[in-house]
Amino acid sequence: MTTTELSLPPALTQVQLHDAFWSPRLEANRAHTLPTLHRKLVEVGALDAFDLPAYAERGLTIPKTHHVTPQMWWDSDVAKWIEAASASLVTHPDAALDAQIDDTIARMVRAQQQDGYLNTYFTAIEPERKLTNERDWHELYNAGHLIEAAVTHHRSTGKTSLLDVVERYVRFLSGVYGTGEGQRPGYPGHEEIELALLRLYHATGRREHLDFARYFLNQRGQTPNYFETEALARGDDPQEFWAGTYEYMQAHVPVREQSQVVGHAVRAMYLYAAMADLAAADGDPQLRTACERLWNDLTRHSLYVTGGLGPSASNEGMTRPYDLPNDTAYAETCAAVGLAFWARRMAALTGEGRYADVMERALYNNVLSGVSLGGDHFLYENPLESDGTHRRWAWHACPCCPPNVARLLASLGEYVYAVSAREVTVNLYAGSTLQAEVGGRALTLTQEGMYPWRGDIHLSMTLDAPATFTVRLRIPAWAQGATLNVNGEAVAVTPQQGYAVVTREWSAGDTIDLMLPLVPRRTYAHPAVRQDAGLVALEYGPLVYCVEGLDQRADLHALSLPRDSALDARFDPDLLGGVTVIEGAAVIDTAATADLYSGSPPTTRPALLRAIPYAVWDNREPTPMRVWLRERVG
């Protein structure tokens, strides 16, 4: 597939979702998450913080009514809220929400300095330290989120108010950073601006944004390492770097030489997403190869079954291959969001369904776990085992995850399909309507079904005239025995790069029926994953399942599932908003004696195992939870 044939996500305005699974989540995001985020940003002072730079720039004393000390990352949280709220306006016009966005942007306009710089913390609190520590601080990271918010706001509303702000900011930054005379050869410690600049390039067509993104990516990890030069310039000893290694921010070697996913997981995902974008934009085979190499390392050695990544809290990221603890899993929500970003770009870059498979895994499991069904409580870490004390919170000192999930859910329509001049690719199965020009004709493609609870998917077409083009339908790796009909006639399913491919002349009224077999299935970890030795996980379609103590009435570590136990799936409309549960005969160990240790093995009693989707755990009262279950053999 050449770069001119890449299938790209449709615009938000081209996709309408009306899906039984996703619509309640999207409505909770719109009706509850967005207002909750705005209210919390007001309460902590993150919005008022944008008023402070105006006082500082004019040399005025901050009024006593402003008892706000901005955090270094607050600007990014506000930007992500703008992005999510702007995307929501596409499907649900809301004058009050639009006014809130406009008010926030007006504050940003007033906060921006004459030279284009915009950062509440370093303008109002420590202006003398501006742009002196990109290794540890978040100026370029914040700038990246402001850019992404501006792109989505412009595309959603047609307004340029925030786009004008970030264009000025980027002009300032591109004067500071670069390889020219008087410039600093620097780049961010926390990646984000790279993928943001690529989005800005695609939105505006201005090649200077592409060039700036390319500079940041090419400069990363070069020798001498910029972070050492920067540390010396501010009078610090580079050897006293608190993280101990530049692997923490993926700056240990140039990006095209990287082969293992290391360091902070969110930073890594943002970096790799940008690398995939740039590989597509430049047709860069070395960058593509690096992305594929890193992808293989992650999915073969370090990805949780839930689509989470980053087992360690100490670095919010990676440790070593096959180290996947369950009860202490960090698996940050933002990292799963970032994985979805990267996976979507890799699917577009390569045309391979395996990337969309992982995108789906992350979306249906680790991403959704990060927000409650009600949309107003959140998880930062997403363990695969809990004693019942790990609960969702209403807010966090570093609330990066809630607005990250919010912006992803609000833009979910961009993940369902991909479109080129001659192809329509269906990456996710969700009730929706796509409007696009394909094969030179206006196409309306309507998708219906009850996925992931049922595997029968129906697509119908409306065309203004017959047209010849290709429809690519992802066949998940787990969907053995999938069947396909076009206009009621069977078509052989012989996946090409993970997709069933149908090329023909299509006409109005044509239909496609895809059946993906949905049955409970057992999943086993690689033997090198010591934490999962002797354990089994349950899956159903794209969903990973867990057991909660509320349903078992026993200690979950005493529960075991016989390998030959039959598993049944049934839909329970009254449980957790309506979910399919998996049930089967299980066994519970009970003590043979009252002694702490005994020479007698435990006795057993039969029990009914009842598993629910991991995405909806911790939506009832506090209770233990496990994804990986003991398996009884023989």
Short-list 366, 338, 413, 365, CA closest to 23:
413
Q: Which residues of 540-565 are buried (b: 16+ CB within 10 A; e: fewer)?
A: bbbbbbbbbbebbebebebbbbeeeb
3-state helix, strand, coil in the chain (%, to 5): 40, 20, 40
pLDDT value of position 634: 75
State which amino acid sits at residue 48.
D
Would you call 548 a catalytic residue per the annotation?
no
What lies within 8 Å, CB to CB, of 419 at 6+ separation is: 7, 8, 9, 10, 425, 434, 436, 438
- CATH for the stretch 420-515: 2.60.40.1180
d(CA 309, CA 60): 46
**Positive/negative CA dihedral, 575, 580, 585, 589:** negative
Active site (annotated) includes residue 400: yes
Out of 167, 192, 316, 381, which one is annotated catalytic? Answer: 316
Residue-level pLDDT at 164 = 98
Catalytic site residue from 291, 400, 401, 546: 400
CATH 2.60.40.1180 segments of the chain: 420-515
In which residue ranges of the chain is pLDDT below 50? 1-4, 64-67
pLDDT tens profile 188-216: 999 999 999 999 999 999 999 999 999 99
What is the distance between the alpha carbons of residues 7 and 203, in angstroms, rounded to a whole number? 16
pLDDT for position 3: 37
